[in-house]
Amino acid sequence: MAKEKGRKLIAQNKKARHDYQILDTYEAGLVLTGTEVKSLRQGRASLADGFIQMDGHEAWLYNVHVPEYSQGTWTNHSARRKRKLLLHRVEIDKLESKSQETGHTIVPLALYFKDGRAKVEIALARGKKEYDKRQTLREKQDRREAERAISAIRRKQRA
């Protein structure tokens, strides 16, 4: 059986990009049980309430919902258990020191398979204020309107 190549997205946390200003991103491996991997291969997971905490110089992923595997038996996992993240010591130390600063947190952005292994993209982030969120939405809307206007002009020139 050949290993799959590339990146297969399982779940994304779009709300995190809206609620937080992303300062730095990291790719981390996950310590999973067999039924969790099978459930993820079915494309079922939710990062909506997920967050990362440092505990004893280790990174742990909390509140990520991986539903129980439908064909699982008594070996099935609990859906919201904490999962250990696999990072280099330097990355853990950096994240630990930065997350202690006021206003900084670590959030999961995406859950995916990369070359057959489950990975999670995590980000060091700072919470946005309400006016920052409105400003971001306004910029996005302005960009979209400008692109529409440009494409309309190009259509007129072709005709």
Q: Beta partners for 21?
A: 126
Total-model pTM: 0.73
> Which helix (H) or strand (E) is 19 found in, with range?
helix 14-19
Residues 96-146 pLDDT 10s: 888 887 778 889 999 998 888 889 999 998 887 777 778 888 888 999 999
CB-based burial label for 40 (10 Å; 0-12, 13-18, 19+): buried
Check: CB of residue 137 under 8 Å from CB of residue 30: no
* DSSP track, 98-110: HHTSTTEEEEEEE
Per-residue pLDDT, 4: 61
pLDDT digits (tens, 9 = 90+) for 8-53: 888 888 888 888 888 889 999 998 887 788 888 887 788 888 888 8
pLDDT of residue 101: 78
